[in-house]
Structure 1
Amino acid sequence: MSRRLPLGRPAFRRVRRLTRKTSLRTRVTLWATTVVAIAMVAAGLGLLFGLQHSMWRDRDSTGRQRLSDVTSLVRHDRLGSLIPSSGGDDDVVEVLDHHGKVRASSDFDTRPGSPSGFPNPLPPRVLAGHPTTLHDLGVGDGGDFRVLARPIRVDGRPATIVVGVSLAQAEHTLSSLTTGLAIGVPALTALVAWTISLTAGRTLRPVETLRRQAAEITATDLHRRLDLPACQDEVHALGVTLNDMLTRLDDASVAQRRFVADAAHELRSPLTALRAQLEVMSSYPDPDRDPQMAATLLEDTVRLHDLVEGLLALARSEDPARPRSQAARVIDLDEVVLAEVRRQHSLARADIDARRVSGGRVRGDAEALRCVIRNLLDNARRHAGHQVRVALSERGGTVELTVSDDGSGIPDADRLRVFERFTRLDEARSREAGGSGLGLAIVGKVVTAHGGTVHAEKDPAPEAGGLGGARLVVRLPAVPSSG
Structure 2
Amino acid sequence: MPPHRARVRALLARWPRPAGRLTLRSRVTLWATSIVAVAMILAGLGLLLGLRNAMWHDLDDTVGRRVSDVSSLVAHGQLRALIPSNGEDADIVQVLDASGRVLASSESEVRPGSRSAFPHPLPPALVDGRPMTLHNLRIGDGGDFRVRARPVHVDGRPATIVVAVSLAQAERTLASLVTALAIGIPALTALVAWTISLTTGRTLRPVETLRRQATHISATDLHRRLDLPASRDEVHALAVTLNDMLARLDSASAAQGRFVADAAHELRSPLTAIRAQLEVLAEYPDPERDPSVAAALLEDTERLHGLVEDLLALARSEDPARQSQRATVDLDEVVLAEVRRQRGLTATGIDARRVSAGRVRGDAGALRRVVRNLLDNARRHAAHQVRVALTERDGTVELTVSDDGAGIPPADRARVFERFTRLDEARSREAGGSGLGLAIVGKIVTSHGGSVHADEDPSPDDGGLGGARLVIRLPSAEA
List aligned pairs for 1:433-444, cutoff 5 A.
433-444=431-442
Q: Is the partner of 2:402 in helix, strand or coil?
A: strand
Q: Deviations over 1:308-353 (max 9, x none)?
A: 111111111112234854x12x333222222222222233353221
Is the partner of 2:135 in helix, strand or coil?
strand
Q: How does 1:57-456 map to 2 (within 5 A)?
A: 57-88=57-88, 90-322=90-322, 324-325=324-325, 327-328=326-327, 330-456=328-454
Q: Which residue of 2 aligns with 1:45?
A: 45
* SS class of match (1:321): helix
Q: Which amino acid aligns with 2:236?
A: H
Shift of 1:361: 2.5
The separation in 1 between residues aligned to 2:79 and 2:284, in whole angstroms, is: 151
Higher mean Cα deviation, 345-354 or 243-252?
Answer: 345-354
Check 1:16–1:134 CA distance in 2 against 1; reply closer, same or farther (3 A cut).
farther
1:97 counterpart letter in structure 2: D
> Are the aligned partners of 2:149 and 2:161 in contact in 1 as well (CA < 8 Å)?
yes
**Contact 2:459/2:465 (8 A) holds in 1:** yes
Mapped contact 1:394–1:478 kept (Cα < 8 A): yes
* CA apart distance, 1:143: 1.3
Q: 1:16 to 1:31 in 2, by over 3 A?
A: farther
Residues 162 and 361 (structure 1), Cα distance of their counterparts in 2 relative to 1, 3 Å cut: same
- Identical aligned pairs, as a percentage? 72
CA distance in 1, matches of 2:14, 2:232: 39
- Give secondary structure in 2 for the equivalent of 1:147: strand
Q: Secondary structure at the match of 1:266?
A: helix
Q: What is the distance in 2 between the residues matched to 1:52 and 1:337?
A: 87
Going from structure 1 to structure 2, the CA distance change for 1:126 and 1:324 (only over 3 Å counts) comes to closer
Evaluate the alpha carbon distance shift between residue 452 and residue 51 of structure 1 in structure 2; reply closer, same or farther with a 3 A threshold: same
Task: Check conservation: 1:349, 1:381, Cα contact below 8 A.
Answer: no
* Superposition deviation, residue 88 in structure 1: 4.4
* Alpha-carbon distance in 1 for matches of 2:6, 2:112: 66
Is the Cα contact below 8 Å between 2:323 and 2:447 reproduced in 1?
A: no
**Closer/same/farther in 2, CA of residues 75 and 7 from structure 1, 3 Å limit:** farther
Q: CA deviation at 1:296?
A: 2.5
Q: Structure 1 CA distance, aligned partners of 2:6 and 2:340? A: 75
Structure 1, 172-181 or 445-454: larger mean CA deviation: 445-454
In the alignment, the residues of structure 2 paired with residue 480 and residue 224 of structure 1 have an alpha-carbon distance, to the nearest angstrom, of 45
1:473 partner SS: strand
Unaligned residue ranges in structure 2 (runs of 5+): none
Root-mean-square deviation (CA, aligned residues, Å) is 2.3
- Structure 2 counterpart of 1:55: 55
Task: Letter of the 2:18 partner, please give it.
Answer: L
User: Residue 367 of structure 1: CA displacement?
Assistant: 2.1
Map Cα deviations across residues 191-247 of structure 1 (whole Å, 9 max, x no partner). 111111111111111111112221221111111111121111111111111111111
Higher mean displacement: 404-413 or 184-193: 404-413
- C-alpha deviation, 1:466, in angstroms: 0.6
Shift of 1:457: 1.1
Q: Distance in 2 between matches of 1:113 and 1:94?
A: 11
2:369 and 2:131 map into 1 onto residues whose CA distance is 95
Q: CA deviation at 1:139?
A: 1.3
Q: Distance in 2 between matches of 1:213 and 1:126?
A: 77
Q: Which moved more, 1:40-49 or 1:10-19?
A: 10-19
Structure 2 counterpart of 1:54, one-letter code:
A
- Residues 240-288 of structure 1 show CA distances to partners (whole Å, capped at 9, x for unaligned) of 1111111111111111111110000001011111222222222233344
What amino acid maps onto 1:446 in structure 2?
I
Q: CA deviation at 1:13?
A: 7.4
Q: Which amino acid aligns with 1:99?
A: S
* TM-score normalized by the length of structure 2: 0.94
Counterparts of 2:274 and 2:379, CA distance in 1: 27
* Pair 1:74–1:6, CA change in 2 (3 A): farther
Alpha-carbon spacing, 1:303–1:5, altered in 2? closer, same or farther (3 Å): closer
- 1:10 positional shift: 8.7
- Return the alpha-carbon distance in structure 2 between the equivalents of residues 320 and 5 of structure 1: 45
**Residue aligned with 1:214, SS:** helix
Between the two proteins, the alignment pairs up a number of residues equal to 477
Alignment CA distance shift 1:29-1:220 (3 Å): same
Seen in structure 2, the aligned counterparts of structure 1 residues 324 and 437 have a Cα distance that, compared at 3 Å, is: same
Letter in 2 for 1:437: G
How far 1:480 moved relative to its partner?
3.5
**Preserved contact between residue 408 and residue 469 of structure 1 (Cα < 8 Å):** yes
